[in-house]
Amino acid sequence: MCACGNPGVTLKVMEYTYDDDLEELCPVCGDKVSGYHYGLLTCESCKGFFKRTVQNSKRYTCAENQECKIDKTQRKRCPFCRFQKCLNVGMRLEGMSIFTALSNNNNNNNNKLKKKNKKRKLFFLFLLFIISY
């Protein structure tokens, strides 16, 4: 009998076991990954760092010999080496969504540019719709 009270009905429940050893780790700092960002699986911290660095065109310098250890506990000590590691492990601008890239280009309030970007977004949505079939 199942929980619904109907005799003769059997419900099978799939058992899911969670194995901590199978968790993905961020290739930049070793923290737990939160998703696919800028071309690969990374943690939230490295995703945000990479995004701020690129969007704000930040330039860093290393106080040491450009070989600083980047891990979860020391990732904030040297932004130069952290950004280099982001690039070396494969994070890339091409991983940004089309819509994020388009909205980042719209820094002024010019209505003409807003309309142009809206048309681009619609065009890309249309292309994605066509490609998905």
- Per-residue pLDDT reduced to its tens digit, 73-104: 999 999 999 999 999 999 998 755 545 555 55
pLDDT at 24: 87
Q: How far apart are CA 40 and CA 27, in angstroms?
A: 9
Joined together, the tokens standing for residue 8 give 């003769």
- Per-residue pLDDT reduced to its tens digit, 114-130: 666 666 777 767 766 67
* Predicted structure pTM score: 0.57
Domains, the chain: 24-99+108-133 (3.30.50.10)
Residues 70/25, Cβ–Cβ less than 8 Å = no
CA Rg value for the chain: 22
Q: How far apart are CA 115 and CA 23, in angstroms?
A: 43
pLDDT (average), residues 7-14: 43
